[in-house]
Amino acid sequence: MPNALRAGFLAIAAILGLGPLAAGAQTLAAVKARGTLNCGVSQGLAGFSDRNAQGAWAGFDVDFCKAVAAAVLGDPTKVAYVPLSATERFEALRAGRIDVLSRNSTWTLEREVALGLMFAGITFHDGQGFMVLRRPNVTSALELDGVTVCVQAGTTSADNVADYFRANSMKLQLVTLPTAADVVQALDGGRCDAMTTDQSGLYAERLKLARPGEAVILPDVISKEPLGPVTRADDLQWFNVVKWVNFALVNAEELGISASTADEAMRSAKPDVRRFVGAEGDLGVKLGLDAAFAIRAVRAVGNYAEVYERNVGARSRLGIPRGLNQLWSMGGILYAPPMR
Amino acid sequence: MSCLATRVHRTLPVLSMLAAALVLAGCASTPAPVAQPQRPQIRPAAYPVSALVGSWGIASYREDRDRPRTETMARQHCRTPYVITPGPTDGIMMHVADDPKAYELTLKGGADGKTYLGFETPPPHAQDREILSLTENVIVMRFIAPDVHARYGTFVYVRCPGGAQAAAPRRT
Amino acid sequence: MNRSSFIRRLSLVAAAGFASLFATSAALAQAAPPAAMRETMAIGDEPGRVSTEEVIIREGAFARQLVFFRSTEPVGTLVIHTSERFLYLVLGNNRALRYGIGVGREGFTWSGLVRVSRKAEWPDWTPPPEMIERQPYLPRFMAGGPGNPMGSRALYLGSTIYRIHGTNQPETIGHAVSSGCFRLANGDVIDLYSRVQTGTKVVIRHAATL
């Protein structure tokens, strides 16, 4: 935006009295006063939130907790991790036991409206896919006509796969099995030549196969499972903090700012980079933080690509390709509004 | 793998030089004992070592069918010649594989009738080259260590025009 | 692939050791590399040290695999993301065949659109002058073949020195390395070579600069 225009806009904003919204509940102030971020995570999901050999929490979702702590408190270690089961996770957030839920939870309308929660964004675009064995010529889910597919009983995956085959006029031979372990065993043993669950799950299950290198996970994604951090709906200020920490990590990747280039970024002459690191403007202050909140988050955990590759991507055991979670400009759909 | 291997290989000539130096130092500092330490048996080579002195275009090949064009390419690369100069004693200054330092090497006759190029140790030594052919203007040689030969192939040295002068290598 | 992962681990350890031992050597006393190359693996510039067998990477993220990839480029286009160390062959319908690559110093020097101008099996190798300066014992020209650092296949890009080539050092895949351009494991570059024609569009992209 040209400077004259920007000045005009700010003047109008001032006349209308559009200052920072008063928060319904003061989560930000409470976190600052407490000096610790209470972050809800899973009870153990490899790559996302799990305890490592030293007993410390690690993973994609854990790094998001660290990024928020670094942005808000200036220290990524000031996090109290609260492991939560699927059934207790939202109630723990509603009851104020945690400040933010960072636990592979799918964003749906019902969860926001009925539970009074808000998803602050999408950190991981998951979705249902297929893993194929013994079918070297299959390169697309549309070529699965007549293939026997294993799926866990009682999951949405079972309904989705039936819909998908019907919509594409393919014959489905579905084998429904009680547990996830049964499904991967059946695939390995030859009872079926394909299995289906969410993509992130397929990469985890692949490691359990006798010869993981022979399995092909098809690039097709046939359902939407957007995962992201959740806050209470009555605290817009805190919601914005969490939302923009996520956007900051994505914008950092797009701008070429990483943990190893943070110092270089501080000296950059590019306006976008200068605003990001807080050398120009007062974006952080408007959020109720300080100018350096974004670069602190990047220094703590790296940009989105670094967080992804380290925990679930190319530098991890899971090796999940970026896929949908690649930047919008690089082959994926990851998109963060600009920081200005 | 590569880096570790590089280090190991790089240490080899240094070690052998050290060993050689120690032996020599031992000889020099000991006041003439009754029996001279027996010098290793090195037969005279079929060619004088001075035949190697000069500026050479060097290239390498693996398949015999590539030999003619490799020779052509060697000639073309006289713009970055490999320069062989006389050494301080009887040898010539050249490199061994994977070591940027030049050493004094010499031509040696082997018991097998072949001609070797390397340190003044009885051939065949791990760091020797075997001279496959030598004329006034073209020398063909190979490293005798199988892994080194596998990586570098067979070398063709083609004498550069006016090659007796030591032209300094220059950037192009 | 136990051997390969062993080699990789070994080489990383060795790279660190090598870098500290020879930190002042001419090989490393170059101008500061771009940010993308900070964690450069200092590979020996000698002709390939490891097996010359035609290695295909079969496991892990750098194995050739189908991935989701949105692209407006026509089917058949190659897209190289240097920061990710991946090369994508666009298949259309939001899919690509992805190969792990190693990116050499030259691979970071240019970005944009080029075309495959020539293909070669077991390409010849002409070491660059600065390499000759550091390693005066190198042949100035090496006819193609196993052991040649250019590996089993090469795709030459435009009229530049840019090229996609093989390597005898498959443990360098996934890394920024000190020499070369875009390298694939020998078996993988043979596969890519068979799918790509002369004239194919190649898009090269780096991380944004600061």
Number of domains making up chain C: 1
C164: which strand partners?
C155, C182
C5: amino acid identity, one letter: S
Q: Are residues A34 and A121 in the same domain?
A: yes
Q: CA B58 from chain center: how many Å?
A: 13
Say if the Cβ atoms of A314 and C84 lie within 8 Å: yes
CATH of the domain at A101: 3.40.190.10
Same domain as A232, residue A209: no
Could you tell me the CATH number of the domain that includes residue C21?
Answer: 2.40.440.10
* Residue A3, pLDDT above cutoff 50: no
Q: Which of A217, A319, A323 sits opposite C60 (nearest CB)?
A: A319
pLDDT value of position A154: 86
Any idea which of A233-237, B24-28, B107-111, B131-135 has the lowest mean pLDDT?
B24-28
Domain membership flag for residue A270:
yes
Which residues form the domain of C161?
A: 2-61+102-205
pLDDT of residue C109: 84
pLDDT above 60 for B163? no
Domain end, chosen from A223, A258, A290, is at: A223
Lowest mean pLDDT: which of B26-35, B113-122, C112-121?
B26-35
Same domain, A114 and A234: yes
**Cβ of residue C171 closer than 8 Å to a chain B Cβ:** yes
Q: Whole domain around residue A80: which residue ranges? A: 23-125+226-330
Question: A71 and A134: one domain?
Answer: no
If you measure CA to CA, which chain A residue comes closest to C73?
A331
Residue where a domain stops, chosen among A223, A242, A273: A223
**At CB < 8 A and 24+ separation, what contacts does A91-97 make?**
A92/A40, A93/A40, A93/A117, A93/A230, A93/A231, A93/A232, A94/A232, A96/A232, A97/A38, A97/A40
Least confident stretch, A90-99, A208-217, B134-143, C53-62: C53-62
Q: Could you tell me if A241 and A28 are in contact, meaning their C-beta atoms sit under 8 angstroms apart?
A: yes
Chain B to chain C, count of Cβ pairs less than 8 Å apart?
126
Q: Is the pLDDT of residue B120 over 60?
A: yes
Which of A196-200, C142-146, C172-176 has the least mean pLDDT? C142-146
| C55 belongs to a structural domain | yes
Whats the size of chain B, residue-wise?
A: 172
Q: Which residues of chain B have a Cβ shorter than 8 Å from any chain C Cβ?
A: 1-7, 57-63, 66, 69-70, 73-74, 76-77, 80, 82, 95-100, 102, 150-153, 155, 169, 171-172
In terms of domains, do A232 and A96 share one? yes
* A8: in domain: no
User: A222-254 pLDDT, tens per residue?
Assistant: 999 999 999 999 999 999 999 999 999 999 999
In a domain, A32, yes or no: yes
C29 in A contact zone (CB under 8 Å): no
User: By the 8 A CB rule, do A128 and A157 touch?
Assistant: yes
Q: Do chains A and C touch (3 or more CB pairs under 8 A)?
A: yes
CA–CA distance, C91 with C148 (Å, rounded to integer): 31
Averaged over A26-50, what is the pLDDT? 96
Write out the DSSP string of A137-150: T--SGGG-TT-EEE
Inter-chain touch C11–B58, beta carbons under 8 Å: no
Q: Which H/E stretch holds residue A241? A: helix A236-255
> Can you give the pLDDT at residue B147?
87
Residue A317's pLDDT band (cuts 50, 70, 90): very high
Check pLDDT > 50 for residue A192.
yes
Pick the residue from chain C with its C-alpha nearest to A254. Answer: C208
Per-residue pLDDT, averaged over C73-88, amounts to 97
Q: To which residue do tokens 């393919």 refer?
A: A170
Q: Give C52's contacts in chain B (Cβ within 8 Å).
A: 150
Show me where the domains of chain B are located. 41-159
Identify the pLDDT of residue A84. Answer: 95
| Longest Cα separation, chain A | 71
Q: Are strands B82-86 and B54-61 parallel, antiparallel or unpaired?
A: antiparallel
Give tens-digit pLDDT for A255-271: 999 999 999 999 999 99
Residue C79 distance to chain B (closest CA, Å): 29
Q: What pLDDT band is residue C146 in, cutting at 50, 70 and 90?
A: confident
Note whether C33 contacts A: Cβ–Cβ < 8 A.
no
| Cβ-based contacts of B63 with chain C (< 8 Å) | 143, 145
Residue B26: the pLDDT is 34
- Residue of C77 and A86 predicted with greater confidence: C77
Phi, psi (degrees; rounded to nearest 5) at B3: -70, -40
Span C154-190, pLDDT tens digits: 999 998 778 999 988 888 999 998 777 999 999 999 9
Q: Is residue A6 part of a domain?
A: no
Which of A295-304, C91-100, C143-152 comes out lowest in average pLDDT?
Answer: C143-152
Instruction: Give the whole-angstrom CA distance, residue B156 versus residue C31.
Output: 34
pLDDT value at residue A5? 44
- Which element (helix H / strand E) includes A196? strand A194-198
Residues of C with CB below 8 A from B73's CB? 124, 140-141, 143
> CB-based contact (8 Å) between C207 and chain A?
yes
Q: Mean of the pLDDT values across residues A199-204?
A: 94
| Angstrom distance (rounded) from CA C177 to CA A201 | 33
Tally of structural domains, chain A: 2
Above 60 in pLDDT, residue A208? yes
**In a shared domain, residues A162 and A182:** yes
Residue-wise pLDDT for C63-80, tens only, equals: 999 999 999 999 999 999
Q: Share the mean pLDDT of chain B.
A: 77
CA–CA gap between residue C120 and residue C151 (Å, rounded):
10
Please give the residue that has the higher pLDDT: either A43 or C28: A43
Inter-residue contact B12 to B126 (CB < 8 Å): yes
Say if residue A163's pLDDT is above 90.
yes
Answer whether C81 sits within 8 Å of A330, measured CB to CB: yes
d(CA A312, CA A200): 9
Joined together, the tokens standing for residue A51 give: 């305890």
Angle of helix A180-189 versus helix A199-206 axis, rounded to 10: 60
Segment among B22-26, B101-105, C109-113 with least mean pLDDT: B22-26
A237 with A104, same domain? yes
What pLDDT is attached to residue B167? 41
Same domain? A99 vs A112 = yes
Cβ-based contacts of A326 with chain C (< 8 Å): 69
**How much is the pLDDT for B164?**
45
In whole angstroms, give the CA distance from residue B112 to residue B53.
Answer: 25
Flag if C68 and A221 touch (Cβ within 8 Å). yes
Domain boundary among A204, A223, A242: A223
Contact criterion met (CB below 8 Å) for C49 and C15:
no
Residue listed under structure tokens 């681990």? C9
Residue C71 domain-assigned?
Answer: no
Give me chain A's average pLDDT, please. 92
A233 and A317 together in one domain: yes
Contacts of A332 in chain C (CB under 8 A): 68, 70
Average pLDDT, chain C: 79
**pLDDT grade for C40, boundaries at 50, 70 and 90:** low
State residue C39's pLDDT score: 55
